Amino acid sequence: MSSTPSTFADLGLSAGLVAVLSDLGYESPTPIQARAIPELLAGRDVVGLAQTGTGKTAAFALPMLDGLDPDRSETQALIMAPTRELALQVADAVTSYAAKLPGIRVLPVYGGQGYAAQLRGLERGAHVVVGTPGRVIDHLERGSLELSGLDHLVLDEADEMLTMGFAEDVERILRDTPDEKQVALFSATMPPAIRRLAKKYLHDPVDVSIDASIRSTSTVKQRWIGVHHHGKFDALTRLLEVEDGDGLLIFVRTKQSTEDLAERLRGRGFDAAALNGDLAQAQRERIVGGLKSGAIDIVVATDVAARGLDVDRITHVINYDIPHDTEAYVHRIGRTGRAGRSGDAIVFVTPRERRMLSALEKVSGRTLEQMSVPSPDEVNERRASRLTESITESLGSPQFHAFRALVEAYVAEHGVEMTDVAAALAVLGADDPNFFLRPEAEQRHEPRERRERAPREDGDRGFDRGADRGGDRGRRSESEESGEWTRYRLAVGKRHKIGPSAIVGALANEGGLKRSDFGKITLGTDHAIVELTAGLPDAVFEALRGTRISGKLIDLRLDDGPPPNRNRGEGARGGRRSGPSGPSSGPPRKPRHSARRD
């Protein structure tokens, strides 16, 4: 095209879709939409390099919807996503875009949800199926999903799917689809494996990417704070008091840290919730819904738990624990500054982590500005400002005159100044007995034993210790360091033509596990032994009860064989591990002796 389209109508979309976008408040196409939509409308296969928050869902969904035939009840479009959260998010978006397209049905299929509702939806006929690879394969094996009439296939966040071990599943699904179809592959990064996948399954694709200067990170102001481990929590609470914003997302490394930090923030009077892989889907949806509605302002999350999280009101992302993976940093800060809006990202950097700053600047394409921990004077100024604002609001209260009469009577009876009474009432209403912070110099001269010491955070371990993302098999996880593993037996093995990545992918997707929950995986001829983090919640095993790999029910159960005798450093992931053995019949049970992981 000779010029950049300024409206969605200029892209060639149907009048119905343009009207829906107007109703949704979409004013003009984002760069990835302006480049991808015309190519997809022309019938070309597309490889799109686009990060979260650039508007890529609309980029592939709108032209796909434009080509659907509502009179054909068969599945005409399949969108694959790496996580159930992203699958739900995409399904919701596609449904909203199809609001003025009568008869179009969209169905999400993902692990962690019962089959009944999905089977009913597929039986009625779903024009668009949005699913995770494991559950899509399950429905193909059951015969409940038929793809012979497929016209459109989308791989969303393809790099994440491969990182999570879904490469074999994705290729399996691609082989089961018709040769004559349109394929759109979108990925935040383009590693060689993605290029190989595109070369093998896409027909003469056009590359669509957006310049680094206009990616999602360009709308995010990025700053860093130098802080020691023991001072991180105090620095965080001061920051929360002085920063102007709406919703806030705090990233830590471990599941336990989400709970610990959220609890400590609540103890300081902040409305905070933890988001991690141990939560049931209903709990997760409640927290995300609260963040969207404003009922919750602060969410503490891990990288894995935040995948697929799309909340417009997130104005700040705080990296309380610096990420191990620089690409994880881009995904983190992409949770704010969505689709052209501005956002703020702040990184806490300990002295030993200073060397990571240049890597973060390189991957984000922006310079990180140094900032200082807010001083007591800055915090006190903001507290005073909020107090005066609340006083002004209270002047308009229906109860104001009744209380004024009460105060006047008190002044007359006790002979005190009205301002003294007002100050006393302010003290009475203050949440914190120490409303104003003392100057730092005064705190430094206080006896050491009286200074407030923030307990050591689980995440305060520096750059080279355990990671929640689990994208690098060479790193040590918490469970490996503590030696807490439980061995499980699966009824699939080498003769079923599966590998460790298929096991990790299926269990992670269906059970909501992350890579650091997996220890050594040993493949036998007709079975596999997998080590999982001890103390996983019962909900994980309920979700895994009907899981299949390559169509075979895994029949997950505790392994009753003796643990292998191997030295430290042996095995796929390294480290000494031990786990309890138990009965080999019935569904696996959560080990009762699980200890807190420090």
pLDDT in tens, the chain (598 residues): 445 566 888 899 999 999 998 887 777 888 889 999 999 999 999 999 876 667 788 999 999 999 999 999 899 999 999 888 788 888 988 998 999 898 999 999 998 788 899 999 999 999 999 999 999 999 999 999 999 999 999 999 898 888 888 989 999 999 989 999 999 999 887 888 888 899 999 999 999 987 554 445 567 889 999 998 888 998 999 999 888 888 999 999 888 899 999 998 988 888 899 998 888 878 888 898 889 888 899 999 988 777 667 788 899 999 999 887 666 787 788 788 765 567 899 999 988 888 788 878 877 777 899 998 988 888 888 877 777 777 888 888 888 888 888 888 988 888 888 888 888 887 776 655 566 666 654 454 444 444 433 333 333 322 222 233 333 333 333 443 344 788 999 999 988 888 887 888 888 877 778 777 888 899 988 899 999 988 788 778 888 888 888 778 899 999 876 544 444 333 333 333 333 333 333 344 333 333 333 3
Q: How far apart are CA 275 and CA 492, in angstroms?
A: 32
The pair phi, psi for residue 521, each rounded to 5°, is -115, 120
Question: What's the alpha-carbon Rg for the chain, to the nearest Å?
Answer: 27
CA distance 421 to 427: 10
Distances (CA, A) of 34 to 3, 128, 183, 334, 413: 10, 23, 18, 20, 74
CA 194 to chain centre: 22
**Amino acid making up residue 492:** V
Question: Would you tell me how many other CB atoms lie within 10 Å of the CB of residue 525?
Answer: 9
CATH topology match: 9-210 vs 470-598? no
Phi, psi (degrees; rounded to nearest 5) at 224:
-135, 150
Strand 247-251 relative to strand 314-319: parallel, antiparallel, unpaired?
parallel
Upper half-sphere CA count for residue 307 (Cβ side, 13 Å): 28
158 to 47, 58, 64, 499: CA distances (angstroms): 10, 17, 18, 20
Q: Which of 14, 45, 2, 8 is nearest to 30 (CA)?
A: 8
Q: Which residues pair with 488 in a beta bridge?
A: 530, 558
- Selected from 3.30.70.330, 1.10.569.10, 3.40.50.300, 3.30.70.120, the CATH number assigned to the domain covering 470-598 reads 3.30.70.330
Length of the chain: 598
Pairing of strands 552-553, 548-549: antiparallel
Instruction: Looking at the structure, give the CATH architecture of the domain made up of residues 9-210.
Output: 3-Layer(aba) Sandwich (3.40)
Q: Which of 262, 283, 264, 281 is nearest to 273 (CA)?
A: 262
Give strand pairing partners of 185. 47, 155
Are 477 and 516 in contact, with CB atoms under 8 Å apart?
yes
Sequence ranges of the domains in the chain = 9-210, 216-374, 377-437, 470-598
Side chain identity, residue 321: D
| Class of the domain covering 216-374 | alpha beta
Nearest partner of 275 among 307, 251, 299, 246, judged by Cα: 299
